Amino acid sequence: MSWMLRRAAADDLDAIMAIERSVFTSDAWSADSMARELVDEHGYYLVATPADEPDAVVAYAGLLAPRGSGQGDVQTIAVAPDARSGGLGRALMQALLAEAWRRGARDVFLEVRDDNPVGQALYRSLGFAELGRRRGYYQPDGVDALVMRAQLTAPVTGPAASVVSEVAE
């Protein structure tokens, strides 16, 4: 399968929310919150689609990185179950980190559920390390959040062409 990454548009909200609600069953964001994220001037949201079906969103990820702040936050990432384990999660994260670097961010933070070893493995493999823990952060489940940080010291390379055929603005 050949994938394309492109900037998310307001029109992608329904497709993103369908994945959001199916993946984050107990703590999905509201459509209003997601809609605000997609148009935030400091945000950078990407969607992934099959290269030949640019409207068929199978994954999304978002970064908040105000230029001049030196910092970024990975806001969210989700890959639809049937599109997982093919490198899309890593490709999306690499694209977010490359954008964070371009915006001058040198510290990138994120939070991940303590009971999410797959997410944690992805983040650790990209240089994120645990900074601390927020007890009971994820409600209603009462699950801790691990706070992780990656310190960027050199330009971050975008996703491999073998995984994503195109990164379109």
Ligand X SMILES: CC(C)(COP(=O)(O)OP(=O)(O)OC[C@H]1O[C@@H](n2cnc3c(N)ncnc32)[C@H](O)[C@@H]1OP(=O)(O)O)[C@@H](O)C(=O)NCCC(=O)NCCS
Options 37-45, 76-84, 100-108, 129-137: segment touching ligand X (CB under 6 A)? 76-84
Minimum CB separation of residue 81 from ligand X in Å reads 8
Taking CB positions, which residue lies at the least distance from ligand X?
89
Residues 128-157 that bind ligand X (CB under 6 A): none
Options 27-35, 82-90, 99-107, 131-139: segment touching ligand X (CB under 6 A)? 82-90
| Total chain residues near ligand X (CB under 6 A) | 18
- 55-58 contacts, C-beta under 8 A, 24 or more apart: 55/15, 56/15, 57/12, 57/15, 57/16, 57/19, 58/3, 58/19, 58/82, 58/83, 58/88
Binder among 22, 125, 151, 157 for ligand X (CB under 6 A): 125
Is 77 among the residues that bind ligand X (CB under 6 A)? Answer: yes
Angle at 108 between CA 103 and CA 111, to 5 degrees: 140
Options 5-13, 31-39, 118-126, 147-155: segment touching ligand X (CB under 6 A)? 118-126
C-alpha span between 25 and 129 (Å, rounded): 26
**Strand 59-64, strand 71-79: pairing:** antiparallel
Please, which residues have CB within 8 angstroms of residue 55's CB and are 6 or more apart in sequence?
15, 49
Q: Which residues bind ligand X (CB under 6 A)?
A: 23, 77-79, 84-90, 112, 116, 118-119, 121-122, 125
